[in-house]
Amino acid sequence: MVSPLPGVRPSLPASWYFDPEHYRRELEAVWYRDWVCVGRTDSLQREGDYFTARIGDQNVIVTLGPGAALRAWHNTCRHRGSLLCKEAHGHFRNGRIICPYHTWTYSLDGRLVATPGRLEADDFAAGGYSLYAVHVDTWKGFVFVNLSDAPREGLDDFLGDEKAHLENWPLDDMRSVHQAIYSVACNWKLFWENYSECYHCPRLHPELCKIMPVYKKAVFKASDLPGWEPADDNDNGYGRVSANAETWTMDGKSTLPPLPGLTDAERQAGVAFTSIQGSMFVVGHPDYARSVRIVPTGPERIELVVDWLLPSDLANVDSDTIERITGLAERVIRQDSEACELNQRGLHSSRFEHGVLVPQEYMLWDFHQWLRARLVESKPL
Ligand code: FES
Ligand code: FE
């Protein structure tokens, strides 16, 4: 039977995956213009707590300011541009942000409030030297920033229909119980492309295929298969965990209480995804959730930040439980990372100009079209 999917189409030019100039264009067109997730609200507990985050070669500070309002700034001092915070997270004591170089001091709403030791000058007005603000908003406990002066859309519109897939997951009330950070030698697009297809799954992910039998057929969704029919009214076409599995763990079993609020269909499926083109995906299971953020750190390097989330009343679970919920995904991430690194190296061949997308890689084509549109939009006149 012929696939209901489109035929073959070309993939992106190989140089887009390593050329430093093209990398810079993508940072400007995507990463410095769109909303990008940088962390979780639950890591900021009291006024003055902060974390820093990298996006390309930019660095931002996110803090809990007066009245529990989230604030974000570029991590740069208005005096001569020193990095203000070098730690990944911390607490601003006494509500003061103090530059480590000449101790210019800012309040938690970003105003310059002291310049110790500065000789007086008639024409110095502290009001002109507030920190550079960054747009910040949240979705279900995830903190997003937008580095553009005027975001083209609010976070809600930016997330669009993708929000619906995890609508029933109580992510607002969940906390990260484990975080892993991986440095992977590949362009950011390669990791996203790898996430967007399951053509590689039978070869690369034997353990995952046991839990998700549809992946053995080299497709991401059961509905991609020729002649697919829904099994029942609850079947959303994504495929389900195997008959003897409940969730994504090595043995498919769960030792945690089911998350409240999910439908029967969501529990039976065992998995749901919210994908934020190019930069992040959140995976919901019946008993836990996981977020994966891609941070581009160079043309051929990313950092992957992976968090495993549980309801806040389970935030102190023992290490065995953590191992159970992290084991399968950690295995899969290592398998994917290795494949992406090989892909990156192979792209440097002088004979390889671009590749070809096969039918079940249609989400890569959508991603490429989305990226091309972003690049055209942002191209300077
Ligand atoms: Fe920050 Fe001088 S650069 S006080
Ligand atoms: Fe994979």
Q: Annotate 311-379 with three-state secondary structure.
A: EHHHCCCCHHHHHHHHHHHHHHHHHHHHHHHHHHHHCCCCCCCEEEECHHHHHHHHHHHHHHHHHHHHC
pLDDT band at 203 (very low <50, low <70, confident <90, very high): very high
Banded pLDDT at 359 (limits 50, 70, 90): very high
Tell me how far apart the alpha carbons of residues 348 and 51 are, in angstroms, rounded to a whole number: 36
Confidence band of 231 (pLDDT split at 50, 70, 90): confident
78 in helix, strand or coil? coil
**Are the CB atoms for 356 and 26 separated by under 8 Å?**
no
Rounded distance from Cα 115 to ligand 1 centre (Å): 9
Instruction: Return the CATH fold of 1-18+168-381.
Output: Naphthalene 1,2-dioxygenase Alpha Subunit; Chain A, domain 1 (3.90.380)
Name the helix (H) or strand (E) containing 59. strand 58-64
Between CA 81 and CA 83 the distance in angstroms is 6
As a whole number, the mean pLDDT across the chain is: 95
Per-residue burial over 337-353, b = 16 or more CB atoms within 10 Å of its CB, e = otherwise? bebbeebbeebeeeeee
pLDDT single digits (tens) 236-249 = 788 899 999 999 99
Q: Give alpha helix (H) positions in the chain.
A: 20-26, 155-159, 188-195, 201-204, 206-211, 264-269, 319-346, 362-378
pLDDT at 1 over 60: no
pLDDT score for 4: 64
Residues in the chain: 381
Q: How confident is the model at residue 7 (pLDDT cuts 50, 70, 90)?
A: confident
| Model pLDDT, residue 166 | 96
CA 227 from chain centre, in angstroms, equals 34
| Sheet containing 70-74: order of strands | 70-74, 58-64, 49-55, 89-91
pLDDT on residue 74? 98
Share of the chain above pLDDT 70, in %: 98
Residue among 74, 78, 101 whose CB has most ligand 1 atoms within 8 A, to mutate:
101
Residue ranges near ligand 2 (ion) with Cβ within 5 Å: 336
Domain-wise residue ranges, the chain: 1-18+168-381, 32-163
β-bridge partners, 135: 146
Give the pLDDT confidence score for residue 230 in this predicted structure.
85
Q: What are the distances in angstroms from CA 50 to CA 24, 69, 87, 92, 313?
A: 28, 12, 9, 7, 23
Alpha carbon of 199 to ligand 2 centroid (Å): 9
Q: Which of 282, 291, 288, 235 is nearest to 258 (CA)?
A: 288
Contact between residue 358 and residue 8 where contact means Cβ atoms under 8 Å apart = yes
119 Cα–ligand 1 center, Å: 14
Q: What topology does CATH give the domain 32-163?
A: Rieske Iron-sulfur Protein (2.102.10)
In this prediction, residue 5 carries a pLDDT of 74
Q: Please check whether residue 74 is in contact with residue 134, taking contact to mean a CB–CB distance below 8 angstroms.
A: yes
Ligand 1 nearest-atom number relative to CA 78? 1
Q: Work out the average pLDDT over 239-268.
A: 94
Whether ligand 1 lies within 6 angstroms of the CB of 82 is answered as yes
Mean pLDDT within 262-280: 94
Question: Which residues, 6 or more positions from 17, have their beta carbon under 8 angstroms from its beta carbon?
Answer: 186, 187, 189, 190, 299, 300, 344, 347
CA 134 to CA 47: how far, in whole Å? 18
Check whether 2 has a pLDDT greater than 80: no
- In the prediction, which pLDDT does 378 show? 87
Write out the H or E segment, with its range, that includes residue 12: strand 9-13
Ligand 1, closest atom to CA 115? 4
Q: What integer is the mean pLDDT of 47-76?
A: 96
CA distances 312 to 104, 133, 137, 289, Å, are 38, 31, 21, 12
Neighbour tally for 91: CB within 10 Å: 14
Checking if the pLDDT of 212 tops 70, the result is yes
Determine the pLDDT at residue 213.
94
State how far Cα 8 lies from the chain centre. Answer: 29
Cα(290) to centroid(ligand 2), Å: 15
228/52: higher pLDDT: 52
| Average pLDDT for 364-373 | 96
Tell me which ligand sits closest to the C-alpha of residue 215. 2
